[in-house]
Amino acid sequence: MIPLNVALAHVLPELLLLVGALGLTLYGAIRGKPSDGPVTEIAVAVLGAALLVILLGFKTDMVLFDGSVVDDGFGRFMKALALVGSLVALLMGQDFLARERIDKYEFPILVLLATLGMMVLISAQNLIVMYLGLELMSLALYVVAAFHRDDLRASEAGLKYFVLGALSSGMLLYGASLIYGFSGSVSFAGIAASVQNAPAGGPSLGIVFGLVFLMTGLAFKMSAVPFHMWTPDVYEGAPTPVTAFFASAVKMAAVAITVRVLMAAFPGATPQWRQIVVFISILSMALGAFAAIGQSNVKRLMAYSAIGHVGFALVGLSAGTQLGVFGVMAYMAIYLVMTLGAFAVILSMRVAGHPVERISDLSGLARTNPFMAFCFAMLMFSLAGVPPLAGFFAKWYVFNAAIQAHLYWLAVIGVLSSAVAAFYYLRIVKVMYFDDPAPAFDRPSPALSAVLAISTAFVLFLFVYPAPFVGATANAAKSLF
Tens of pLDDT, residues 129-148: 999 999 999 999 999 988 88
Q: Write the Ramachandran bin of 140: left for phi over 0, alpha for psi from -120 to 50, otherwise beta.
A: alpha
- From 240, 233, 328, select the one nearest 281 (Cα to Cα): 328
pLDDT mean over 443-455: 91
Q: Bridge partners of 26? A: none
pLDDT band at 1 (very low <50, low <70, confident <90, very high): low
| Predicted pLDDT of residue 83 | 95
Which residues, 6 or more positions from 80, have their beta carbon under 8 angstroms from its beta carbon?
A: 51, 54, 55
Q: Which pTM value belongs to this model?
A: 0.94
Can you tell me the distance from the alpha carbon of 201 to that of 134, in angstroms, rounded to the nearest whole number?
32
380 vs 152: which has the higher pLDDT: 380
| Predicted pLDDT of residue 459 | 93
Angle 357-234-335 from CA coordinates, rounded to 5°: 75
Q: The domain containing residue 357 runs over which residues?
A: 4-478
% of the chain at pLDDT higher than 90: 56
Is residue 107 a contact partner of residue 144, using CB atoms and an 8 Å limit? yes
Can you tell me the distance from the alpha carbon of 34 to that of 461, in angstroms, rounded to the nearest whole number?
43
Angle 150-154-159 from CA coordinates, rounded to 5°: 115
pLDDT band at 109 (very low <50, low <70, confident <90, very high): very high
SS3 string, the chain, reads: CCCHHHHHHHCHHHHHHHHHHHHHHHHHHHHCHHHHHHHHHHHHHHHHHHHHHHHHCCCCCEEECCCCEEECHHHHHHHHHHHHHHHHHHHHHHHHHHHCCCCCCHHHHHHHHHHHHHHHHHHECEHHHHHHHHHHHHHHHHHHHCCCCCCHHHHHHHHHHHHHHHHHHHHHHHHHHHHHHHHCCCEHHHHHHHHHCCCCCCCCHHHHHHHHHHHHHHHHHHCCCCCCCCHHHHHHHCCHHHHHHHHHHHHHHHHHHHHHHHHHHCHHHHHHHHHHHHHHHHHHHHHHHHCCCCCCEHHHHHHHHHHHHHHHHHHHHHHCCHHHHHHHHHHHHHHHHHHHHHHHHHHHCEECCEECCEHHHHCCHHHHCHHHHHHHHHHHHHHHCCCCCHHHHHHHHHHHHHHHCCCHHHHHHHHHHHHHHHHHHHHHHHHHHHCCCCCCCCCCCHHHHHHHHHHHHHHHHHHHCCHHHHHHHHHHHHCCC
| Domains contained in the chain, number | 1
Confidence check: pLDDT of 393 > 70: yes
pLDDT mean over 108-118: 94
Is residue 385 a contact partner of residue 418, using CB atoms and an 8 Å limit? yes
- From 92, 91, 70, 64, select the one nearest 5 (Cα to Cα): 64
| Predicted pLDDT of residue 153 | 84
Which residue type, as a one-letter code, is found at position 409?
Answer: W
pLDDT band at 101 (very low <50, low <70, confident <90, very high): confident
Is residue 372 a contact partner of residue 452, using CB atoms and an 8 Å limit? yes
pLDDT mean over 168-194: 91
| Predicted pLDDT of residue 437 | 85
Q: Go through 413-441 and write b for each residue having 16 or more CB atoms within 10 A of its CB, e for each that does not.
A: bbeebbebbbebbebbbebbbebeebeeb
282 vs 1: which has the higher pLDDT: 282
Q: Bridge partners of 70? A: 63
pLDDT mean over 195-213: 82
pLDDT band at 102 (very low <50, low <70, confident <90, very high): confident
- From 340, 368, 356, 383, select the one nearest 433 (Cα to Cα): 368
- Give the model confidence (pLDDT) of 45-59 as tens digits: 999 999 999 988 777
Is residue 400 a contact partner of residue 334, using CB atoms and an 8 Å limit? no
% of the chain at pLDDT higher than 70: 98
| Predicted pLDDT of residue 36 | 62
Confidence check: pLDDT of 35 > 60: no
In whole angstroms, how far apart are CA 454 and each of 48, 337, 344, 372, 461?
17, 9, 11, 12, 11
Cβ atoms < 10 Å from Cβ of 307:
26
| Predicted pLDDT of residue 58 | 73
Confidence check: pLDDT of 157 > 90: no
Confidence check: pLDDT of 226 > 90: no
Can you tell me the distance from the alpha carbon of 245 to that of 323, in angstroms, rounded to the nearest whole number?
28
| Predicted pLDDT of residue 374 | 93
| Predicted pLDDT of residue 308 | 93
The verdict on whether omega for the bond into residue 226 sits within 30 degrees of 0, i.e. cis, is: yes
pLDDT mean over 339-356: 89
- From 20, 11, 23, 10, select the one nearest 48 (Cα to Cα): 20
| Predicted pLDDT of residue 409 | 93
| Predicted pLDDT of residue 176 | 93
pLDDT averaged over the chain? Answer: 89
- From 37, 85, 83, 112, select the one nearest 344 (Cα to Cα): 85
Between 59-63, 236-240, 325-329, the lowest mean confidence (pLDDT) is in: 59-63
The verdict on whether omega for the bond into residue 388 sits within 30 degrees of 0, i.e. cis, is: yes
- From 151, 92, 48, select the one nearest 349 (Cα to Cα): 92
- From 352, 301, 335, select the one nearest 473 (Cα to Cα): 335
Is residue 355 a contact partner of residue 240, using CB atoms and an 8 Å limit? yes
